[in-house]
Amino acid sequence: MSHPLIDRLTGELGWPCLGSAAEAEAFAAAPGWHVIFVPGDPVRNLETADVAVILPELHMAFQRAFDCAVAGDGAESGLRHATGVLKTPSLLFYRDGAFVSGIAKVRDWDDYMRRVQSILSRPAAA
């Protein structure tokens, strides 16, 4: 999974790399909004690098309304199957431990802005 732009997320930005399904579950279970970046294979999928650049920009654009983490190889397959968001790269949105929505593949900026705003404006599950 190693790619310089993904390594930047976990190194320079300090986002956790979730190496197992249990780590992903624990990250998503904390109160508030969380996004798990599921990169896929950055060698085979050139969109992975694009989303690795876009996610920090979205994080800032939405004034850090959500925490971010990167799914490691040990967590990726389980997350994809548990959420039904099978295509990568993808962004998986969780609120208070519950999966809310995902955005698969690279999108244009306006589409990201609309989708993320829509996701974050959803009421909490009862």
Instruction: Count up the domains in the chain and report the number.
Output: 1
CA distance 5 to 51: 9
Encoding tokens for residue 71? 């799914």
Residue 35 belongs to some domain of the structure: yes
Encoding tokens for residue 112? 């990201």
| Secondary structure string (H, E, C) spanning 3-70 | CHHHHHHHCCCCCCEECCHHHHHHHHHCCCEEEEEECCCCCCCCHHHHHHHHHHHHHHHCCCCEEEEE
Q: Which of these, 34, 6, 16, lies nearest to 102 by C-alpha position?
A: 34
* Domain extent for 13: 4-120
Residue 84 belongs to some domain of the structure: yes
Residue 125 belongs to some domain of the structure: no
Segment 53-85, tens digit of pLDDT: 999 999 999 999 999 999 999 999 999 999 999
Radius of gyration of the chain (CA): 13
Q: Is 70 exceeded by the pLDDT of residue 125?
A: no
Q: Is 60 exceeded by the pLDDT of residue 17?
A: yes
- CATH number for the domain that contains residue 64: 3.40.30.10
| pTM (2 d.p.) | 0.95
Segment 28-40, tens digit of pLDDT: 999 999 999 999 9
Residue 126 belongs to some domain of the structure: no
Residue 69 belongs to some domain of the structure: yes
CA 44 to chain centre: 19
Q: Report, as an integer, the average pLDDT of 38-57.
A: 95
Residue 123: predicted pLDDT? 76
